[in-house]
Each structure stands twice: as structure tokens, then as C-alpha cells.
Amino acid sequence: MNLEIGSIIGDRNKIDMIIALFSKGSMKKTDLYAFTTNNNLNSRKLDELEKDGIVTQTLDRFRNNMTTVSLTDLGREVARRLKEIEGLMSGNISAGDDMTDYDAPSEEGHTMN
């Protein structure tokens, strides 16, 4: 898996897809595209999100080959954190709010003389 965040979700349309799925739940692929800018690369971007484990696509051959897109567990966590970033940037969440579930880096290895 490529772990460079820019290549995974650094694209506005990918972020829009993730947030739409987080807000609205699973939906048809064509409905999901309505949440992005008109771009003929949306299908490829959705495939990239699937490859990186953010979404799953399920083809239903009995419903006119309809493809349904859903967030994975990882995708839901990514979306939740994107919403936190959005809150920080909009001022709705202050930078001092402790919304993380991990410890801050320690100062180990740094000695003072």
C-alpha cells in the first residue's frame, strides 16, 4: 500500500467522495459522482480509493449492473478525521481540543546539558 497521503486522498474529488459516503452512507456510483466536480477521471479515482482500502465497490449484475460504493472501516476513520480537519480549519474546533486517540510524541532521546 502506498502510504503517501497526497497520492491516497490528496485530490479534492477523492475527499468529496469520502465525505459524501460518510455523510450519506452507501450509494450508487453514479449518485456518488454528483458530489464531485465534473471530471471524467472520477471512475479511476474511485478505483484508487478501493485499491488503498478506503472504499469497496459491489457490482449487482441482477440490478442492471449497478455498482454500490461503501466506506470500509478504514474509510470511516479517514472520513472522521477529515471532518475533524475541516472543523479545525473552519474554527469550529479549537487547536487545543484533544480529539486524538494517541499519545503525543515524547521527548525521549533529547537530553539537556
**Would 92 be classed as within a structural domain?**
no
Is residue 106 included in any domain, yes or no? no
Q: Which positions ≥6 away from 111 have C-beta within 8 Å? A: none
Residue 102, number of CB atoms within 10 A of its CB: 5
**Residue 85, SS3 per DSSP:** helix
Residue 74 sits in a domain of what CATH number? 1.10.10.10
The number of folded domains in the chain is 1
What are 99's three cell numbers?
480529539
110 within a domain of the structure (yes/no): no
Domain of 19, in residue numbers: 5-87
Instruction: Give tens-digit pLDDT for 56-91.
Output: 999 999 999 999 999 999 999 999 999 998 888 888
Question: How much is the pTM?
Answer: 0.75
Please return the burial class of 57, using the count of CB atoms within 10 Å of its CB with bins 0-12, 13-18 and 19+: middle
Residue 71 domain flag? yes
